């Protein structure tokens, strides 16, 4: 097997060292590593042989594969041709039928405990597995066999993470998560989201290639670099929350000014993820930037736990009532540190946290400068600048008082109407 690594492959296709280092720097940023890690990433990735991947799709919508195709750093073409060896991916492979299956089984034999198993979609276990058949076999059998012999299993998207949409409200097919049906076999990483942010998948792989280990995760297998931050804390609209400036109706003045979407049901205060900082598609945008609230799709059972999606959360920061934004940050940092230490990588975590602190300080400085400029431009000298009283009074965060909205057929605090899973009459 002739393989001199990614960097050589990239040079062959005309990539400059500068572009390659830019990629490495982008990866370091995604992983919240200090910029000094970039050369190390470049070096490690450049010399790494292509990592074999078996990508399985079960009860999926194709969303994770589509997200994969939009990968920018590195590009999907680069992942397919230079960084990974996609041994099996039903959507992205030329051979079909038995030939395709042979590639899968061959890869399992050739790279015992050496390939990456990526699973997209939930795994139905009802009706003897007949709800998803691949090559005539129940998908659940294939998942077990592939994941058991893998170097690591990565569950991509909400469905593989916890059963997702097919498993919501009980579901009709006994849809399960990857973790529900597999036991042994290598590391387990979960990258939930509906769909996942592909930057986090790329960064997870690069993390392994660079440091020889998988990123530190929380108890559900979610890498902390990606699923540690509270979206609300890093949200671009957070200052408006503090000022009590809320969108009150779609398209109103607040919406046009980019005010906080908390009252429109945004789940940012309850959802963890790096969406606000990493954003999507080369940091082009993210849902809140498009004026729509977060639906909490990185969280367990979000289709049930986070809906109705336009119902305002009962309290602004339910996990940490009565603490300030800074307090929330401290609690999170402590949590990350504890988990990381438990994994024996405290040193690494500290480096990462320092990097984040540096990034934040830089961002704050830049913001302060911008604020000063703006204030100078828009505020005449001598004007007192106080928050508007009416914005504070009714909208102030009241941690213990549940929200009441105008009476409607959907009373906010009543349990949602029964769903199919609750009713024995309904299958």
Partner 1 sequence: MARITIDPVTRVGGHLRIEADVAAGEVLDAWSSGTMFRGLEAILRGRDARDAWMIADRVCGTCTGVHALASVRAVEDALGISIPDNARLVRNILAATLAVRDHIVRFYLAQLPDWVDATVALGADPTAASSLARSLGDWPQSSPAYFSGVRDRLAAASGSGQAGPFATSFPGHPGYQLPPELSLVLLAHAIEALDWQRDFMRIHTLLGGRDPHPQSYLVGGVSLTPPWGGPPARRAGEHPQLPDRNTPSAMSDEGLALIDDLIARAQTFISWVLMPDVLQLAEAYSDWGKVGVGAASYLTFGDYPGSAVEAGKLFLPRGRILGGNLASLSEMNDTSVAESVAASWYADDDGAEPRRPVNGRTDPAYSGPALPLATLEGAAKYSWLKAPRYNGQPMEVGPLARMAVAYADGQVDVRAAMNAALTKLGLEPAALFSTMGRTLARTVETRVMAKQAGAWLTQLKGNLAKGDLALVDGGHWDPGSWPATAEGSSLGEGPRGAVGHWVAIQDGVVRDYQIVDATTWNASPRDANGARGPLEQALLGTPVSDPGQPLEILRTVHSFDPCVACAVHTFNPRSGGAIEIRVNYTETSR
Site for partner 1 in 64-103 (CB under 8 A): 64-67, 69-72, 75-77, 80-82, 85-87, 89-101, 103
Is residue 236 a contact partner of residue 289, using CB atoms and an 8 Å limit? yes
> Which of 77, 72, 20, 24 minimizes the C-alpha distance to 282?
72
Torsion angle in degrees (nearest 10) through CA of 163, 165, 169, 172: -80
Residues 327-366 contacting partner 1, CB under 8 A: none
Q: Which is nearer to partner 1, 164 or 349 (CB)?
A: 164
291 binds partner 1 (CB under 8 A): yes
Write down the least CB distance from residue 261 to partner 1, Å. 9
Residues 201-220 contacting partner 1, CB under 8 A: none
Q: Residue from 324, 365, 410, 413 that binds partner 1 (CB under 8 A)? A: 410
125 binds partner 1 (CB under 8 A): no
How many other CB atoms are there within 10 angstroms of residue 393's CB atom? 9
Q: Which is nearer to partner 1, 132 or 216 (CB)?
A: 132
Write out the two tokens for 422: 């609750």
241 binds partner 1 (CB under 8 A): no
184 binds partner 1 (CB under 8 A): no
For 104-118, b/e burial (b = at least 16 CB within 10 A) is beebbeebeeebbbb
| Total of residues contacting partner 1 (CB under 8 A) | 134
Write down the least CB distance from residue 140 to partner 1, Å. 11
Q: Residue from 116, 154, 165, 202 that binds partner 1 (CB under 8 A)? A: 165
Q: Residue from 256, 322, 324, 354 that binds partner 1 (CB under 8 A)? A: 256
Residues 133-152 contacting partner 1, CB under 8 A: 133-139
Is residue 5 a contact partner of residue 210, using CB atoms and an 8 Å limit? no
What string marks each residue from 379 to 398 as x (binds partner 1 by CB under 8 A) or -? xx--xxxxxxx---------
Measured in Å, how far apart are the chain's first and last C-alpha atoms? 53
Write down the least CB distance from residue 246 to partner 1, Å. 13
296 binds partner 1 (CB under 8 A): no
Is residue 107 a contact partner of residue 115, using CB atoms and an 8 Å limit? yes
Q: Where are the alpha helices (DSSP H) in 258-345?
A: 275-278, 302-305, 325-342
- Torsion angles phi and psi, residue 298, rounded to 5: -90, -5
Write down the least CB distance from residue 276 to partner 1, Å. 12
Write out the two tokens for 382: 């001598």
Q: Where are the alpha helices (DSSP H) in 182-324?
A: 198-211, 224-227, 231-234, 238-242, 253-257, 275-278, 302-305
Q: Residue from 192, 195, 228, 316 that binds partner 1 (CB under 8 A)? A: 195
Write down the least CB distance from residue 426 to partner 1, Å. 5
407 binds partner 1 (CB under 8 A): yes
């Amino acid at each position: 097997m002739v393989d001199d690594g990614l960097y050589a492959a990239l040079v062959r296709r005309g990539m400059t060292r500068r572009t390659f280092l830019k990629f490495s720097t982008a990866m370091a940023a995604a992983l919240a590593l200090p910029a000094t890690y970039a050369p190390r990433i470049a070096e490690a990735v450049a010399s790494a042989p292509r990592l074999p991947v078996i990508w399985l799709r079960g009860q999926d919508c194709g969303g994770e594969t589509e997200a994969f195709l939009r990968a920018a750093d590195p590009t999907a073409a680069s992942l397919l041709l230079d960084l990974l060896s996609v041994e099996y991916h039903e959507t992205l492979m030329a051979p079909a039928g038995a030939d395709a299956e042979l590639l899968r089984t061959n890869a399992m034999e050739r790279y015992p405990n050496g390939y990456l198993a990526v699973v997209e979609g939930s795994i139905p276990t009802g009706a003897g597995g007949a709800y998803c058949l691949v090559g005539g076999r129940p998908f659940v059998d294939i998942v077990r066999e592939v994941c058991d012999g893998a170097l690591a299993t990565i569950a991509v998207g909400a469905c593989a993470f916890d059963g997702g949409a097919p498993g919501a409200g009980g579901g009709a097919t006994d849809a399960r998560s990857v973790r529900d049906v597999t036991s042994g076999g290598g590391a387990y990483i979960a990258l939930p989201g509906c769909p996942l942010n592909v930057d986090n998948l790329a960064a997870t792989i690069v993390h392994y290639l660079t440091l020889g280990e998988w990123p530190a995760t929380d108890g559900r297998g979610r890498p902390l670099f990606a699923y540690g931050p509270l979206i609300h804390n890093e949200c671009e609209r957070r200052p408006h929350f503090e000022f009590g400036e809320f969108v009150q109706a779609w398209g109103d003045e607040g919406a046009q000014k980019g005010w906080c979407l908390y009252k429109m049901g945004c789940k940012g205060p309850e959802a963890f993820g790096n969406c606000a900082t990493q954003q999507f598609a080369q940091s082009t945008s993210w849902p809140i930037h498009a004026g729509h609230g977060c639906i909490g799709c990185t969280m367990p059972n979000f289709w049930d736990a986070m809906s109705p999606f336009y119902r305002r959360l009962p309290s602004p920061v339910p996990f940490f009532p009565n603490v300030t934004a800074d307090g929330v940050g401290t609690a999170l940092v402590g949590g990350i540190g504890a988990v990381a230490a438990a994994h024996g990588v405290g040193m690494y975590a500290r480096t990462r946290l320092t990097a984040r602190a540096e990034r934040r300080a830089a961002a704050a400085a830049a913001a302060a400068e911008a604020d000063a400029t703006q204030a100078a431009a828009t505020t005449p000298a001598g004007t007192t600048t106080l928050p508007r009283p009416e914005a504070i009074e009714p909208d102030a965060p009241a941690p213990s008082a549940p929200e009441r909205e105008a009476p409607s057929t959907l009373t906010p605090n009543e349990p949602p109407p029964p769903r199919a899973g609750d009713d024995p009459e309904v299958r």
